[in-house]
A = this chain, B = another copy of it.
């Protein structure tokens, strides 16, 4: 890449805005973008009543979805379409109704078409809720539709 870091971050922001506008799932869950730069994304979500499982804690699927969204925005930040090939998640502590969860995705490596991204999910007290690792695979096409 011959792009300057500032240009890369500007592209990341433009890509995220374009992608978010079309991402019905992320919007419907109330997930909001906090920041996106090249290879990184932070997103937040408030645990709603309709996200609670039978134990009355946040269904792990929504914690995963928040982390997966942060991962998706990080690995698509170069405006080259990328999809998740596989993910792992470790659940460390439960999240409760009303909790504000923040997922921060960081690129660990990117080589060829494959990238590895680590996402940490914390609650409003900074307590670690989950650790997620995602593997991305680039496919053809830009993210931003002309």
Do A23 and B54 have beta carbons less than 8 Å apart? yes
Partner of A72, one of B53, B76, B81: B53
Kindly provide the distance from the CB of A72 to the nearest chain B CB, expressed in whole angstroms: 7
Do B81 and A86 have beta carbons less than 8 Å apart? no
Do B25 and A62 have beta carbons less than 8 Å apart? yes
Do A83 and B87 have beta carbons less than 8 Å apart? no
State which residues 80-97 of A face B: CB under 8 Å. Answer: 81, 83-94
A116 to B50, CA, bound (A): 27
Assuming A65-B64, A128-B109, is B86 touching A54 (CB within 8 A)?
no
Kindly provide the distance from the CB of A65 to the nearest chain B CB, expressed in whole angstroms: 3
Partner of A62, one of B65, B88, B89: B65
Kindly provide the distance from the CB of A98 to the nearest chain B CB, expressed in whole angstroms: 14
- Interchain residue pairs A-B with the least CB separation, the first 3: A61-B65, A25-B59, A19-B54
